[in-house]
Amino acid sequence: MFIRQSIQPVSQTSEREQFAALAPQHLSTMLRAAAALVGVADAEDAAQEALMRAWQGWSELRDLAALRAWLLRITVNVCRDWQRGRFGTGKRLMEPLDDGHAADLIATLGSDPGASDHTAALDLRQAVNSLEVDYRIIIVLRYYAGMDASEVGAALGIPPATVRTRLRRALALLRERLSPSENQPSSSQWEGS
Partner 1 sequence: MADQNDPLPTREPLPPELEPLHRRLLDDGALWRARLPSAERLEDRLNLLTQQERRARLAAPARKLPGRFRLIHRMKGKQDMLRGRLKTALAVATIAAVVVLFVVLFHGFTAGRGTQTGQPHTTTSTASSSPAGRSGQFTSYAGLSNLKGLPEIAPGNPQVVYLLTTDSSGQLKLARTENEGKSWQDFALPAGKASDQFPPTFFVSPLDAHTVFLTVGGTRSGSTCVVSHTLGSDSTLSGGGNICALQYVSKDGGAHWSQVQFPASGIVGDTMILDEAIGQVNENNVLRPQGNRLYAAFGPYSQYNQLEGEAGARLVVSNDGGSTWQFIDNGLTGAGYICDIAPVPAGSTVFAITSDITCSAGGGESLTLWRSDNAGAHWSQVGPLPGNTDQGMVAVSVGNGGQPLLYINAPTRQGGGYLASTRPRTGNGALVDSPADLQVSIDGGKTWKSAPTQGFPDANANPGLPLGVLNDGSVVFAFITQQSGRPATAFYAWKSGDTSWRKLTPGFLAVPQSVLVTSTGAGNQTLWIVTATSATTYSIQSFQL
Residues 145-184 within binding reach of partner 1 (CB under 8 A):
145-151, 153-154, 157-162, 164-169, 171-178, 182-184
Rounded CA gap, 136 and 134, in Å? 6
Report the nearest approach of partner 1 to the CB of residue 133 (Å).
10
Q: Does the footprint of partner 1 cover residue 6 (CB under 8 A)?
A: yes
Q: Does the footprint of partner 1 cover residue 126 (CB under 8 A)?
A: no
Report the nearest approach of partner 1 to the CB of residue 12 (Å).
16
Q: Does the footprint of partner 1 cover residue 65 (CB under 8 A)?
A: yes
Q: Which of residues 12-51 bind partner 1 (CB under 8 A)?
A: 16-17, 19-20, 23-32, 35, 40, 43-45, 47-49, 51
Residue (9 or 99) nearer to partner 1, CB:
99
Q: Which of 13, 37, 56, 111 binds partner 1 (CB under 8 A)?
A: 56
- Give the binding-site size for partner 1 (rule: CB under 8 A): 117
CA dihedral sign of residues 14, 34, 159, 94: positive
Q: Does the footprint of partner 1 cover residue 82 (CB under 8 A)?
A: no
Q: Which of 74, 105, 152, 155 binds partner 1 (CB under 8 A)?
A: 74
Rounded CA gap, 91 and 80, in Å? 9
Give the residue from 107, 72, 77 showing the smallest Cα distance to 95.
77
Give the residue from 108, 183, 185 showing the smallest Cα distance to 144.
108
How far is residue 65 CA from its own chain's centroid? 19
Rounded CA gap, 145 and 139, in Å? 9
